[in-house]
Amino acid sequence: MIAIFVRRLIGAATLDPATFEEVEADRGATIQAVAVVLLASLAAGVGARGAAGVRPALTLFVFGGFVSLAVWAAFAALTYQIGSRLLPVAETRVDPGQLLRTLGFASAPGLIQVFAVVTGLTIPIFLVAIGWTLVASVVAVRQALDYSTTRRAVAVCAVAWLLALLIGAMFTAVVAFATAGPLVG
């Protein structure tokens, strides 16, 4: 079981289409996909501690992990709606579980965010993790939505990612405003 999980993590991180097809078809991989998303979100929380000069480290750990998880959930929901309803092809046959499993494993590159805890490497590691995860998401979407071209998968992921980032930014702004204290002293 652990060997299969590790093999799938490596396959997803190396952008292997067969790995995404495998997890798409395996309903039993749902728990593994959830674990990947949670581990990547925890890694983001740990990595956010690299910016601890701004806020207490624990606050960044909790907030960074939560925002990462919320952005992933928004991205997954938007990807499903855009890919299956707005931009499907004739071959597109997907249920939410299939897409969630593939997108869950597409989060595997996010595990490197744990190394962003090293001050000075925080931003570069987060940028690499985000870019790598986006590329893995394109492969996941192409496989799960049965697209014959990568271009359509890129379009779905680009729109969904931009909207998810906007949602994450708005959430962050609301929380920052709410925790900033009174404007007048």
pLDDT by residue for the chain (185 residues), tens only, comes to 899 999 999 999 999 999 999 999 999 999 999 999 999 999 988 888 776 655 556 666 777 778 888 999 999 999 999 999 999 999 999 999 999 999 999 999 999 999 998 888 989 999 999 999 999 999 999 999 999 999 999 999 999 999 999 999 998 888 778 777 665 55
Per-residue pLDDT at 57: 60
Q: What is the pLDDT of residue 119?
A: 83
The token duo for 108 is 């595997």
Indicate the DSSP class of residue 180.
S
CA–CA–CA angle 14, 68, 140 (5° rounding):
35
Between CA 27 and CA 33, with CA 32 as vertex, the angle to 5 degrees is 80
Terminal CA-CA length for the chain: 58
Residues, the chain = 185
- pLDDT score for 177: 81
Measure CA 169 to chain center: 15
pTM as predicted: 0.90
